[in-house]
Structure 1
């Protein structure tokens, strides 16, 4: 049985959480803040793999 696969590393999860909190401080909704946070992490991940 294969092990669990994580979509994001622990580091990426921490980065997303930090971005999400920053966006909420700027007045974004919880949903929008999370969307922006993980979009940013995905963008950084794709740049890293180029």
Structure 2
């Protein structure tokens, strides 16, 4: 059940566009912030995120 829930949450976070993020998915929002303000991140955030095909 826990693995199923984690898989569901990963899929939801990559697919769901949120109004509070101006129509971006959480992943797209973080990547956009990385491009705009890279000094706020210590490492590239996309290297740490689970992807749908990993």
TM-score, shorter chain, exceeding 0.5: no
Normalised to the residue count of structure 1, the TM-score between the two structures is: 0.33
Normalised to the residue count of structure 2, the TM-score between the two structures is: 0.30
Answer 1 or 2: higher relative contact order, Cα 8 Å, separation at least 6: 1
**Which of the pair is proportionally richer in helix?**
1
